Each structure stands twice: as C-alpha cells, then as structure tokens.
Structure 1
Amino acid sequence: MTEPATSRPRLIIPVLGGLYSALHESAETLLRVAAGALLATHGYGKILDPFGMTSMVEHLGFYPGVFWSPLLAATEFFGGILIAIGLFTRPAAFAAMIVLAVTAHFHGIVRSEGLAGAEKSILWMLIMLFFVIRGANRHSVDAKLGRQF
C-alpha cells in the first residue's frame, strides 16, 4: 500500500519515527546554537582588533578597509551571538551568509585553493542560508518576542 505523494516517505525502521519527531526541533535548535557560537568564536579575535583585517579586505577590493574590517568583525562576532540566541535570526544569518560567500571566493579564487579551500565556507554559507529561509524555531528569542523578520 502506498501513501499519498504529499506525505513523507515511509521509514525503513518505523519505530524510529517517534524519536525523529521528538528530536526534530531540538536538532534544528542545536544546529543554530552551534553555528552561531562557532561563528562568534571565529569572530572573537577580529572583534578584539577590529582593524586587523584592513589590508585583507582591501586586497579583496573592499575599500575603505577601515570601514569593512570592523564590519566583518561585528558580523562574525555579534551576528554569531544573535544567531545562537535566535534574535534577528534571518538578518544576522543573511549578513553571515554574505561574509561566507566572500570567504569562499577568497579561498577558492583569490588564493587559488579551488573547492578544497572554499568547501568549509560553502558549507557554512548553506547553513546560514537555511536559517535565512527558515528563521528561528520556538526555542529562540525571536519566538519569545512573537516576531521575526
């Protein structure tokens, strides 16, 4: 017997369905918190020296570097915190996604590392895209406020 095309595929091990349903939202929350925390951790060194990346961003064509370097630091550090707690999740994830697109270009093209150099940035960019589209779930500050972008 087949199920309608609009339903989910049947599970090979049906008894796991309850477990998957129970952990669905928790897994999404864990991904958001981990991604935000790791992004903030990555940006921590930059926020301590917000002008430290000035020459690098200018090398990428972003002038003036004294504007873009602190913006990069703030996007990674504060954006990561916002994503982790689920506040302004979509705009923070969108800003991080743009930064990660630039880093993918930097590693893949500018430094000629190809896919091997850009793959982590691409993966992280897609994780951020997920949260741009999805937003935060009920385990977030956005949900507690009752508003999302």
Structure 2
Amino acid sequence: MMTETTTTPQPIIPGLVGIYEPLKPYAYPLMRFVVGAWMIPHGYPKLTTGTQATAGFFTKLGLEPAVPLVLLVGTVEAIGGLLIAIGLLTRPVAAMAAVLMAVAAFKVHLPNGFGWTSGGFEHLLMWCVLMLVICIKGGGAISVDRRIGKEF
C-alpha cells in the first residue's frame, strides 16, 4: 500500500532546479499540444484523398458502414487533434480519441501481438492512455478552455 509522504524529495542535481521549476507550468500543455498535433496528419487523409481506400480497409475488418466510420475517425483525428492541441473541448474530444485508439488497438492490432514493430497494439495503447490522461486532466492552465472559462 502506498502512503503519502510529507517530505519533499531532494534534487540529485540541485543546479537543475532553476531549469525545471520555471518550465513545470509548460510541461502538460506541451504534451497536450504534441499529442493533438500528431493526430492531425493521421486524420486529414481520411477526410480528403484517402477516404475510399480507408473505407475498403474498414470493410475488410468488418467495420460497417465503412465510409461514415472513416469520416468519423478522420474527424476525431484531424479536427479533434487540433482541438486537443489548442485545448478546446478537451475532455470530450480526448474521450472520443481514447475510445478510437482502444478500438484500433484491439480490433485492428491485437492479432499481431503487443510489439509495434510487428504491427501490434503497443503504440495504439500508449495513445489511448495519453488520451485518457488528457481527458482526466482537461485543457489545463494554458488552453482555450481555460481562456473562455468553460470546461466539461
């Protein structure tokens, strides 16, 4: 069982505290921005040139109706990625993305095992966990959600 300790851990290299402390407020927004931004190029082709090809892939997987599902996935990835990056509607969009990543991990990649190099679900599971963290934490201090004073 873990217990909360009242002592503050002492830095191993005290000279680095001057670097870490001022950057702490930016760590979560940076992670949220990168995670959201990296989703955009995965969704954009599904909404433009790759809709039919992805729909064919979805049909082979038994995901029907394929074209509307491709457009939904593309929207969550491209538009949702942008919204997560800027921190707008962060929680509901991250929740949708977490579900999307879980479905991709277990419907598409599970048969290939865990390792990403063999097409396994490792990478998608990591994305799912990142989206869950973003969903739980919300937009944070540096976000459009915070700027407009509204969060889900």
TM-score range normalised by the length of the shorter chain: 0.7 to 0.9
CA shift in 2, pair 1:66/1:42, >3 Å: closer
Task: Kindly state the Cα deviation for residue 19 of structure 1 after the two structures are TM-superposed.
Answer: 3.0
List per-residue Cα deviations over 1:59-82 (Å, max 9, x = no partner): 444322232111011111100000
Considering only aligned residues, what root-mean-square deviation do their CA atoms show, in Å? 1.9
CA shift in 2, pair 1:8/1:55, >3 Å: farther
* 2:16 alignment counterpart: 16
Q: Among 125, 129, 134, which residue is 1:126 paired with?
A: 129
CA contact (8 A) 1:52 1:69 kept: no
Q: Sequence identity of aligned pairs in percent?
A: 38
SS in 2 for 1:73: helix
- The within-5 A match list for 1:30-69 is 30-49=30-49, 50-69=51-70
Task: Give distance in 1, aligned partners of 2:25 and 2:53.
Answer: 38
After TM superposition, where is structure 1 displaced by more than 4 Å over at least 4 residues in a row? none
Task: Kindly state the Cα deviation for residue 25 of structure 1 after the two structures are TM-superposed.
Answer: 2.0
Name structure 2 gaps, 5 residues minimum: none
* 1:98 alignment counterpart: 99
TM-score normalized by the length of structure 2:
0.84
TM-score normalized by the length of structure 1:
0.85
Task: Give distance in 2, aligned partners of 1:10 and 1:85.
Answer: 34
CA contact (8 A) 2:42 2:74 kept: no
* 1:108 alignment counterpart: 110
Task: Give distance in 1, aligned partners of 2:75 and 2:150.
Answer: 23
Task: Kindly state the Cα deviation for residue 23 of structure 1 after the two structures are TM-superposed.
Answer: 1.4
Name structure 1 gaps, 5 residues minimum: none
* 2:87 alignment counterpart: 86
Q: How many residues were matched structurally?
A: 143
